Structure 1
Amino acid sequence: MALWDRVKESASTIRTQLMARKNAPKSGAFRDAGMAMRPLVATADGIVDPSKRQRVTRLRRSRQ
């Protein structure tokens, strides 16, 4: 039965790792990284549209 126990333990470990990856986009770090990327994307073409700036400001305020 030792082999079967190791298989069950491995399956449990894999399941835990998959659940952690599935829930990663919901984490605060992922959200913060997404917010940090927005100004870079907004200025990629060299033009900052005032409506983009207002939208990001509203998103930041709604998060706090």
Structure 2
Amino acid sequence: MALWDRIKESASQMQTQLEAKKNDLKSGAFRDASMAMCALVAAADGSVDPSERQRVAQLIATNEVLQ
């Protein structure tokens, strides 16, 4: 079971690191950069469709970092 314990410990450490990184990403700069990338991708073909706007709004609503 030593291998299983090491895997569990590693997963726990990764979870802690992810939580810390998530808190770092909750800054306004990250949010603004994310939305700018979405806008650039949506407008890449020359127009922004309502479905693209809806997808971005849905992303914002469901993503914990972007909320």
Higher RCO (CA < 8 A, seq sep 6+): 2
Regarding TM over 0.5, the answer is no
Q: Which has the higher helix share?
A: 1
Measured against the shorter chain, the TM-score band is: 0.3 to 0.5
Bigger Cα Rg: 1
TM (norm. structure 1) is 0.43
